[in-house]
Amino acid sequence: MLYQKSTQRHTYVEHLTVHSASSYGRPQINNGNKILLPASALQQLIFIKQNGPMIFKIQSTQSQKFTYVGVLEFVAEEGSCIIPDWLFENMNFFNRCWVIVSLEQSLPLGKLIKIQPHETAFIDLPDPRAILENQLRNYICLTQGETITITFNKIKYMIDIVSVTPKTDKLAVCINEADVEIDFLQPLDYTEAPPQKLVKNNSTLGMEQDQQQQQSAVFTGKGVRLDGKTGVAQPRKQSEDVKIVAEPYNPRKNKLVNGIRQAEDVQLFTGTCTKVGAQKKQL
C-alpha cells in the first residue's frame, strides 16, 4: 500500500508586487492596516495552524524597512497585494515594486503604546482618546516607528507610534482584543505660550515713586509780568517746597454747634442790633 507524503506547509512566504489602495480602486481599506492578498494565499494558509488573527510582515526588497499588517480579503490579482495609501507612502513603495510578505505567528499582545500626534488640532478634538480607540479597531497590530493616519469628520490626522510594550526584536505588538494603555505625548507642532509679566501699579513702591516724581516736578519756565518788565527767575529754596503733612483727625473740628458746623477760627457774632421802636439791646 502506498502512502502519499504530506505536503503541509508550516509558514507562508511569498514575493508579491505591491499596489496602493487608490490605484486599485479600493480606498475603503485606507482606514486601517489590513491588506488584500490573492486567493492562492488563502489556499496555502488554510493548512497552517494559526492561533489568533492572521498577521503578516511586509518587508521592502529595496531597503530594510518592514511593518506588520492584517488581511481583509483574498481578492487581489495573483502575484500582487494591495495595501493602504498611508502605508504605501511610509514604506516608500511604488506601484508594482516587489515586497516580501510572510506570515507572523508570534507577535505579543500589546500592553502600552506611546503615540505622538503631528498636530495640536487632534488633542483639541472632543475626547481624542475615545476617537483614537475607536479608530484603532481597524488595526490588527502596530509597529514602532511607523506613522498611522486617523480620519475624523473627513479630516486626516497623522500620529507617530513612538514605542510599544512589551519590547521585542520585532518592534511590534498585536492590539486585537488586547487591553492596551495609550500614552499621549505632546504634539509635534505644540509651542508653549510666553509667560505674561504681571505689573502691580498699586504697589507701595510704585506709589512712593509716583509721589517723588510729582514733588520733584517743579516749574522751570519763564514768567511774564503784567507791567512788561522782564522777571528774573530765582531758584526756589528747598525750604519752600510744598510739604504734604497728614493732619491728625480732630473730632472737635467737625462738631456741630447749635446745629451749625463751625470752623476753629470762626468768631461768633458779638455786635449790636437795633429793634424798631425799642432801645438797643446788646447780645
Question: Percentage of residues in the chain with pLDDT exceeding 90?
Answer: 56
* Residue from 179, 164, 141, 147 nearest 55 by CA: 141
Q: Is the pTM of this model over 0.85?
A: no
Q: Whole-angstrom Cα distance, residue 247 to residue 226?
A: 37
- Structural domains present in the chain: 13-104 (2.40.40.50), 112-184 (3.10.330.10)
Count of other CB atoms within 10 angstroms of residue 171: 17
User: CB within 8 A of 157, min separation 6: which ones?
Assistant: 117, 118, 119, 121, 122, 149, 150, 151
Take residue 235 and report the three cell numbers written for it: 531758584
| Higher pLDDT pick, 207 / 256 | 207
* Residue from 95, 117, 97, 84 nearest 15 by CA: 97
| Higher pLDDT pick, 207 / 170 | 170
Compute CA distances 142 → 51, 86, 139, 216, 259, whole Å.
18, 14, 7, 74, 93
**What pLDDT is stored for residue 50 in this prediction?**
81
Specify the pairing of strand 141-143 against strand 97-104: unpaired
